[in-house]
Amino acid sequence: MLKQTIAACLTAAGLIALAPAASAQTPITLSPEESQQLCAEWLPKLTERTTKLTDRINGGPEIRGSVANLKARAEDQRKKNHNDTADRLQKRADKRSGRLPELTAAKQKLDTFAGAHCKAGK
Task: Name every residue whose Cβ is closer than 8 Å to that of residue 66 and which is 6 or more positions away in sequence.
Answer: 56, 57, 58, 59, 60
Is the pLDDT at 100 greater than 50? The verdict is yes
The DSSP H or E segment spanning 12 is: helix 2-25
pLDDT tens sequence across 44-88: 999 999 999 999 999 999 999 999 999 999 999 999 999 999 999
- In this prediction, residue 122 carries a pLDDT of 42
Query: Which is higher by pLDDT, 29 or 53?
Result: 53
Percent of the chain residues topping a pLDDT of 90? 55
CA distance 18 to 111: 14
3-class state of residue 62 by DSSP: coil
Q: How many CB atoms lie within 10 A of CB 102?
A: 15
